[in-house]
Amino acid sequence: MGQKTHPIGFRLGTTRDWQSNWFVNKPKDYRKQVLEDHKIRELIKGKYEGAAISNISIERGNQDLSVVINTARPGIVIGRGGSRIDELKSDIENLTMKMDKTIKKTKVTINEIRNPDLDAILVAANVAEQLERRVAYRRAIRQVASRTMQSGAKGIKILVSGRLGGADIARSDKHIEGKVPLHTLRSQIDFAIGEAKTTFGIIGIKVWIYLGDVSAIEDQLNEKASQRFAASTQFSGENIESDDINLEIEETGSGDKKLMMILDDPDKPVKDKKSTKKSDSKKSDKTTKSEVKKSNTVKSKTVKSKASKTVKPKASKTVSKTSKKQTKDDS
C-alpha cells in the first residue's frame, strides 16, 4: 500500500494550527468533546449546504464555546438581520446540552473567504459539482487548475480516481501545474479530499495547493503553543516559568523541553544528554589510549638506553684485553 503522509497533519504546530483548541483532564471527557466537535461540524454543514463552507474551528473554555466559520458566501449563513445565526446558536446549545448536560454560552463568528479558488476544500467541491453535472473530468480539472494559478497559487495538483467517464474498470488520473513541494515544512500547502456522487459510483477527488513559503513558526502559533503547554503542565504537576514563548522546565530529561527549544529556534541543533555522555566517554577513551601510547614510548626509550649502556663497556673491555696480549707477544 502507499506510504503517504497527510500534508496538514505533517505541518501541525509549525505552519498550521489545530482546528479544535481545548484541554481536558480525563480521557472520558476527551472522547466526549471530540465527538461533540464532530457533531457540531456535521450540523453546520448539513444546515448550510450551499454556503461554500471550508473550515470550522472550535475553541472551548470552562463554560464557553466559540465557533468560527470560514465561508465564501457569508450572506447565506448570516441571513436577514442575523436571524440564522441566532437559530444556529440555539441548535448548538441544545446539542451540547444533550451531550454534556451542561449549558454552554456559544459564540459564532463568520469569516469571509475572499478568494475561494485558493481554498482546497472549495476547489474539490467545485470539481465534484462539475463531475456530478456530467462534465468531462479532464476539462473540469484543467479549468479549475488554471483558475487557481491565475489567482496567485504557485502550484496545484488534482488527482481523480474512480470510474472516470463511465468506464467499466476504475482508474486514476492527475493534473499538475507549477510545483508542489510536499517534503519541505516551510511550504504552505492546503489539502482536501472530496467526493462526486455520480450514477456510475463515487469518484474521489484530492487537491493539493501550494501557496508559497512561510516562516517556520509564526508568532501567533508559537504563543498559542506556549499557552497550551503551560496549561497542560499545570495539571501534570511540573513547575514551569513561561515568559511569552520561552519555557523552562525544571525536570531533567524531558522531551517537551527539547520540543520547545526547537520551536523557539528551529535552526539551532539540540543536543541530548545521551549524546554528550557518549562524546565524553569517547574523549576519555581517546585520552587513555594516548596516555598508554606515551607510556609505551617512554618504556621503549629506557630499554634502548639500557641496552646501549650495557653493550658499549663490554666491547671496550674485550678490545683492551686483546691489545695487552699483542703487546706481550711482541715483547
Of 227, 245, 270, which residue constitutes the final position of a domain? 270
Work out the number of other CB atoms within 10 angstroms of the CB of residue 212. 12
Q: What is the pLDDT of residues 6-29, one digit of tens each?
A: 999 998 877 888 999 888 888 888
Spatial separation of the C-alpha atoms in residues 152 and 91, rounded to whole Å: 38
Calpha distance 193→11 (Å, rounded): 17
236 by Cβ neighbours in 10 Å (0-12 / 13-18 / 19+) ranks as exposed
Domain assignment present for residue 293? The answer is no
Regarding whether 153 and 92 lie in a shared domain, the answer is no
My answer on whether 208 and 235 are in the same domain is: no
HSE (CB half, 13 Å, CA atoms) of 98?
A: 9
Instruction: Choose the final residue of a domain: 54, 79, 111.
Output: 111
What does the block give as the cell for 256? 517537551
- Bridge partners of 65, per DSSP, are 60, 106
Q: Is the pLDDT of residue 252 over 80?
A: no
Q: Could you give the percent of the chain with pLDDT greater than 70?
A: 65
> Could you give the strand order of the β-sheet that contains 155-162, starting from the edge strand earlier in sequence?
171-178, 155-162, 201-213, 187-198
Residue 174 and residue 83 share a domain: no
DSSP three-state, residue 173:
strand
Residue 59 located in a structural domain: yes
Q: Is the pLDDT of residue 243 over 70?
A: no
**CA quadruple 262, 265, 266, 269: dihedral positive or negative?**
negative
The reply to whether 64 and 94 lie within a common domain is: yes
Reported as a pLDDT band with limits 50, 70 and 90, residue 270 is very low
**Are residues 197 and 147 part of one domain?**
yes
In a domain, 135, yes or no: yes
Output the CA–CA distances (angstroms, integers) from residue 278 to 44, 251, 272, 287, in the order listed.
56, 21, 10, 14
Residue corresponding to grid cell 473550515:
55
Give the total number of structural domains in the chain: 3
Domain end position, chosen among 170, 190, 213: 213
Please count the CA atoms within 13 angstroms of the CA of 303 that sit on its side-chain side.
Answer: 6
Query: Are residues 173 and 137 in contact, defined by beta-carbon separation less than 8 angstroms?
Result: yes
Indicate whether 136 and 206 sit together in one domain: yes
User: What's the pLDDT band for 254 if we cut at 50, 70, 90?
Assistant: very low
CA distances from 26 to 38, 60, 64, 178, 319 (A): 19, 16, 19, 47, 101
Which pLDDT tens digit goes with each residue over 109-133? Answer: 999 999 999 999 999 999 999 999 9
C-alpha grid cell, residue 135: 462534465
- For 103-110, what is the mean pLDDT? 87
- Cell triple for 83: 436571524
Task: Flag whether pLDDT at 304 surpasses 50.
Answer: no
**Residues 192, 98 share a domain:** no
Q: What does the pLDDT average to over 164-191?
A: 92
Output the domain CATH number for residue 105: 3.30.300.20
Residue 311 belongs to a domain: no
Residue 168 in this model has a pLDDT that exceeds 70? yes
The answer to whether residue 75 is domain-embedded is yes
Is the pLDDT at 139 greater than 90, yes or no?
Answer: yes
From CA 198, how far away is CA 111, in angstroms rounded?
A: 32
Query: Per the domain annotation, does 329 fall within a domain?
Result: no
Q: What are the contacts of 221-229 at 24+ separation with CB within 8 A? A: 221/13, 221/14, 221/15, 221/17, 222/263, 222/264, 224/17, 224/21, 225/13, 225/263, 226/260, 228/21, 228/23, 229/256, 229/260
> Which triple of cell numbers denotes residue 104?
454552554
Do 11 and 105 lie in one domain? The reply is yes
Which has the minimum average pLDDT: 68-72, 185-189, 193-197, 321-325?
321-325
Amino acid identity for residue 8 in this structure: I
Q: How confident is the model at residue 194 (pLDDT cuts 50, 70, 90)?
A: very high
Q: Tell me if 212 sits within 8 A of 220, measured CB to CB.
A: no
Q: 145-163 pLDDT, tens per residue? A: 999 999 999 999 999 999 9
CATH code, domain with 202 = 3.30.1140.32
Containing structural domain, residue 85: 7-111
Please tell me the predicted confidence (pLDDT) of residue 251. 41
Q: Which residues neighbour 198 within 8 Å (Cβ) at sequence distance 6 or greater?
A: 131, 132, 134, 162, 163
Do 49 and 104 fall into the same domain?
Answer: yes
Identify which has the larger pLDDT, 258 or 68: 68
Mark whether 82 and 174 lie in a shared domain.
Answer: no
Please tell me whether residues 123 and 194 are part of one structural domain: yes
Strand partners, 194: 205
Tell me the helix, strand and coil percentages in the chain, rounded to 5.
50, 25, 25
Same domain, 169 and 96: no
Q: Tell me: the pLDDT tens digits for 35-74?
A: 999 999 999 999 888 888 999 999 988 788 999 999 999 8
- Taking the model in full, what pTM does it have? 0.65
Rounded average pLDDT over 231-239: 53
User: What local confidence, expressed as pLDDT, does residue 329 receive?
Assistant: 52
In a domain, 276, yes or no: no
C-alpha distance across the termini of the chain, in Å? 111
Tell whether 255 is covered by a domain: yes
Average pLDDT score over the chain = 77
Closest CA to 141 of 124, 118, 121: 124
| Residue 29: per-residue pLDDT | 86
> Longest C-alpha distance within the chain, in Å?
148
Flag whether pLDDT at 244 surpasses 50: no
